[in-house]
Amino acid sequence: MTPEHIVILQVMAILLFSYFWFFPRVAQDDLMKLTQYDLLSSVVTLIISALLFGGKEITFRFLDMEFNWFWFTIMCYIILELPLFLWYLGNIRGK
């Protein structure tokens, strides 16, 4: 499994846990809590990536560009989170 796949799977696992289990139970429809816990989720994601790839000369490729582990993790988190956030926002606004 490539380092890119490891980061993508890690980000997906954390986001799925957050949006389908943790946020509905803890943040519910409070956007301030959602923002705070989302920040916590992103920090946990970065810590895991740092433990796996920090200090190693591994480059991550995306659209023919090279990134280090930090920027690749941030980029994956944003890209994968946006649809989940919009879906969650639509669900709490529809209540």
Note the pLDDT tens digit of each residue in 64-78. Answer: 889 999 999 999 999
Predicted confidence at residue 3, as pLDDT, reads 92
Domain ranges of the chain: 7-93
Strand partners, 65: 62
Q: Collapsing DSSP states into helix, strand and coil, what is residue 85?
A: helix
In contact, 71 and 32? CB cutoff 8 Å: no
pTM here is 0.89
pLDDT at 86 exceeding the cut of 80: yes
Note the pLDDT tens digit of each residue in 7-50. Answer: 999 999 999 999 999 999 998 888 899 999 999 999 999 999 99
Task: Tell me the C-alpha to C-alpha distance, in Å, between residue 92 and each of 13, 51, 63, 86.
Answer: 22, 35, 34, 10
Distance CA 24, CA 47 (A): 24
Distance CA 87, CA 81 (A): 10
Residue appearing with tokens 């890690």: 10
For the residues 52-60, what does the mean pLDDT come to? 90
